[in-house]
Structure 1
Amino acid sequence: MKVSLEFKLIFCLFSILILTGFQQISDDNTYVNDLKTWHQKRIESLKAENGWLNLAGLFWLEVGKNSFGADPKNNVVFPAGKSVPLLGYFTLKNGEVWVDIEPSAKVSVNKAPVTSLKIFPADHNIVLESGTLRWFVIKRGTKFGIRLRDLESSELQHFAGVKTYSIDPKWRIEAKLEPATTDKKIAITDVTGQTSLQTSPGTLVFSIDGKEHRLDAVESEEQLFILFADQTSGKETYGAGRFLYAEKPNERGTTILDFNKSINPPCAFTTFATCPLPPKQNRLSIAVTAGEKNYGNH
């Protein structure tokens, strides 16, 4: 039986379409599996010792001597039953923080007992330990605070994961960086009300459903960091917006914004974080139904 040239062409075209479809399915499955692996690592980072779920306190120091321990009369009050009544004193003076430990208290750094030590500033982050508690100094603007962790915190023990939207490749979008023509600074305000100027390499320009959108980025080590809010904020997602990281632009000036990797800021998980808020120009007019949904009631 003779097969017409037309039939052969149709068959070849059909075969190509089938193979292309299979390739697309395979690519989509790989993408979804990669996203699931990425999100699992994200969950593990939240639960880690340096994650956000075990925060148990944030205490702003006064200039001078600050007593700390479980006694409610202290300047810095640690959780009841987690330490002795008086562990010692923090002293804040001239931008330095020292700690002096009571002789009867057991406090260590890297398993080595501590009696008196300058803990800020230091060449590295000094973490003090007592039982399940860990604490260290943070600086926000002109304020100095003690951030406390409890490795057996109730938030950590009752954590059951973070809900997300279904993974959708349509939210993996190419964006063009519109470089800043000058030394561009963006005013970023955090939840404590303090504002700092952050260096911005420029504005990321992208399209969704044929409409152009713009987001200012700031620098974060070897990545771009984007604070954004959208029409899901305060409804299905965290009210103060979400975070998104992206690779720095390639030689063509483009990068990928994968909104499936949009994550909650630390303040969604704890009241003891000092999260930055999206600048007003980073409030999108659309609903970004991708990435993490709201968590808890913080």
Structure 2
Amino acid sequence: MLRWRHCCTIGLLVLFAGCGETVESEDPAARADAARLDVMFSAQTRVWQDTRRAELVAPDGWLSLIGLHRIELKSHFIGSGQTAGIRLSMGPEKLGLLQSDNGAYAFTPERGVAVTLDGAPVRGRVLLQTDTSASPSVLGFDDGKDTLTIIERGGSAFVRARHEEAPTRRRFTGLEYWSTTRDWQVDAEFVPAASGATLPIANILGMVEDTPTPGSVAFERDGKRYTLQALEGGDGSLFLIFADRTSGHGSYSAGRYLDAPAPGADGRLQIDFNRAYNPPCAFTAFATCPLPPEGNRLDLAIPAGEKTYIPATTV
């Protein structure tokens, strides 16, 4: 399965009980209670937003990406020099030699270049594990500021490069959100899929992979029923990729992501569109974002959650 969550792994915060639509009442006590709930809800959402930002701008966050290079040959010299087969935008001119053989990968550092593998110094040729492994390998160099990993997508392998001083990270302009409202935390029903069911999920590179789906999530809005097909999250949670009428008109044109809690025993859950967030490809050209499946393009405007990211203007 695609590793959506290292894509973007944000923990679900526990929501207070009784969240729903704002109570409208002439009773001053009821209005006061509703106002307190709104304040609590906004505060909890703000904590989530702060966590979201912290993970995005972390040294190994999505903003640190500086390259995505397809592995096409059995041997590639890697470095920032002009003669490198895989040319990095940052780092030493000659980093080392990457070799591949039927899905197995090995790296030999250039003499005199300090390289680490998962934090330990590399003295010679080492084997590398891709992101499909339980323990993906991380090559570090440039005093630990730069890292390389190997990822697999749609039957192809790529070298992914990160650097703490990536332009996208240094020039990050911040995140913008629609106003937080409990009206966009909606009750939903989980409908399980048949055992072994999959969805064809396309990514931003044009690749399509059949991906396991646990089922779909249905909710109502203004008397109309909408359904979102779900992917597997962690610990029974659900991962939703969707587009709506705000896509390209306030929110990111390719769609947004939403983490949803595991359904209860009765199949009920709440989905909070205030926590809808942009995929990594909204911030960098070096991501491999999965896109909304056909059924997840809603004929509904959802003015909640994260808005389109506007990068800094380069001079």
User: Normalized against structure 1, the TM-score is what?
Assistant: 0.90
CA RMSD, Structure 1 to Structure 2 (Å):
1.8
1:53 is paired with a residue whose SS is helix
Among 171, 174, 196, the residue aligned to 2:209: 196
1:114–1:123 CA distance, 2 compared to 1 (3 A): farther
Provide the aligned length of Structure 1 versus Structure 2.
282
Q: Report the equivalent of 2:155.
A: 142
Identity %: 32
Q: 2:169 aligned with 1:159, yes or no?
A: no
In the alignment, structure 1 residue 225 sits paired with structure 2 residue 236:
no
**1:175–1:204 Cα contact (<8 Å) kept:** yes
Work out whether 1:23 is the aligned partner of 2:36: no
The gaps in structure 2 that reach 5 residues or longer are: 1-24
Q: 1:126 is aligned with what amino acid?
A: S
Q: In the alignment, what sits opposite 1:76?
A: 86
Alignment of 1:85 with 2:122, yes or no, is no
Whole-angstrom distance in 2 between the partners of 1:287 and 1:93: 48
1:120-131 correspondence to structure 2 within 5 Å: 120-121=129-130, 124-131=135-142
Distance 1:94 1:63 in 2: 11
**Which residue identity lines up with residue 238 of structure 1 in the other structure?**
Y
- Cα distance between partner residues in 2 of 1:31 and 1:214: 25
Rounded to whole Å, the distance in 2 between the matches of 1:105 and 1:123 is: 28
Residue 125 of structure 2: which of 107, 116, 128 is its match? 116
Q: Is the 8 A contact 1:103 1:115 kept in 2?
A: no
For 1:15-64, what per-residue CA distance to the aligned partner results, in whole angstroms no more than 9, with x for missing partners? 99222221111111000000001101100000112210010001111231
Tell me the equivalent position of 1:10. Answer: none
Residue equivalent to 1:5: none
Structure 2 partner of 1:212: 225
- Deviation digits for residues 221-243 of structure 1 (CA, Å, limit 9, x no counterpart): 22100110001111211111000
2:251 corresponds to which of 237, 241, 244: 237
Q: Please report how far the alpha carbon of residue 83 of structure 1 lies from its aligned counterpart in structure 2 after TM superposition.
A: 2.7
Distance 1:207 1:250 in 2: 18
| Equivalent-residue separation in structure 2 for 1:230 and 1:105 (angstroms) | 49
Q: Residue 159 of structure 2: SS of its match in structure 1?
A: strand
Query: Is the contact between residue 97 and residue 120 of structure 1 (CA under 8 Å) also seen in structure 2?
Result: yes
What is the CA–CA distance in structure 2 between the aligned matches of 1:105 and 1:112, rounded to whole Å? 11
The amino acid of 1:89's aligned partner reads L
4+ runs of 1 displaced by more than 3 Å?
none
Please give the alpha-carbon distance, in whole angstroms, between the structure 2 residues aligned to 1:27 and 1:20. 11
Partner of 1:8: none
Describe the superposition over 1:121-158 as per-residue Cα deviations: whole angstroms up to 9, x where unpaired: 56512211111211111111211111100101121111
Give 1:202's aligned amino acid.
G
Flag the 1:181–1:129 CA change in 2: closer, same or farther, 3 A: closer
Distance change (3 Å), C-alpha of 1:202 and 1:83? closer
Find the counterpart in structure 2 of residue 101 from structure 1: 109
Pick the structure with greater CA Rg.
1
Conserved 8 A contact 2:109-2:122: no
Is 1:272 the counterpart of 2:286? The answer is: yes
What TM-score do you get using the length of structure 2 for normalisation?
A: 0.85
Question: Residues 94-133 of structure 1, C-alpha deviation per residue, up to 9 Å, x if partnerless?
Answer: 1011001111222122152342100125651221111121
